[in-house]
Amino acid sequence: ECFVFDKRVALGSDLRETKTTQCYACLSPLTVEDQQSPHYDPPHTCPHCHLDEQEQLELRLRNRRRKLDRITSPLPGSIPYNNVRPLNVAQRFDGFTLLDYLRNAHPHLGEGYWERECDEGRIHQKYRPVRGDKPVRAGEQFAHLHPGTTEPDVNAKVEFLYEDDQIVVVNKSAPLPVHPSGRFHRNSLQWILNEVYRPQVLKPAHRLDANTTGLIVFSKTRSVARVLQPQFEEGRVTKTYLALVHGNVEWKQTVCEAAISREPANCGGRTIDEEGGLPSRSRFECLHHNPDGTSLILAVPETGRTNQLRVHLWHLGTPIVGDPLYLPDRRIGTAQTLSVGETMCLHAWKIGFHHPSTNDFTEFETVRPDWARD
Strand order in the sheet with 123-125: 81-88, 141-149, 123-125, 128-129
CB 60, CB 51: distance < 8 Å: no
Report how far residue 229's alpha carbon sits from residue 242's, in angstroms, rounded to the nearest whole number. Answer: 23
Angle ∠(259,262,265) on CA atoms, nearest 5: 100
- Within 272-325, strands assigned E span 282-289, 294-301
Q: Which helix (H) or strand (E) holds 143?
A: strand 141-149
| Annotated catalytic residue, options 41, 133, 209, 329 | 209
Rg (CA), the chain: 27
Within a 13 Å sphere around the CA of 108, how many CA atoms are in the beta-carbon half? 7
Report how far residue 358's alpha carbon sits from residue 228's, in angstroms, rounded to the nearest whole number. Answer: 12
Give CA torsion, residues 232, 235, 237, 243, to 10 deg.
Answer: 90
DSSP helix/strand/coil, 329 = helix
Report how far residue 155's alpha carbon sits from residue 72's, in angstroms, rounded to the nearest whole number. Answer: 10
Q: Can 209 be counted among the known catalytic residues? A: yes
Report how far residue 152's alpha carbon sits from residue 113's, in angstroms, rounded to the nearest whole number. Answer: 21
DSSP helix/strand/coil, 311 = helix
CB 228, CB 205: distance < 8 Å: yes
> Which residues carry out catalysis?
209
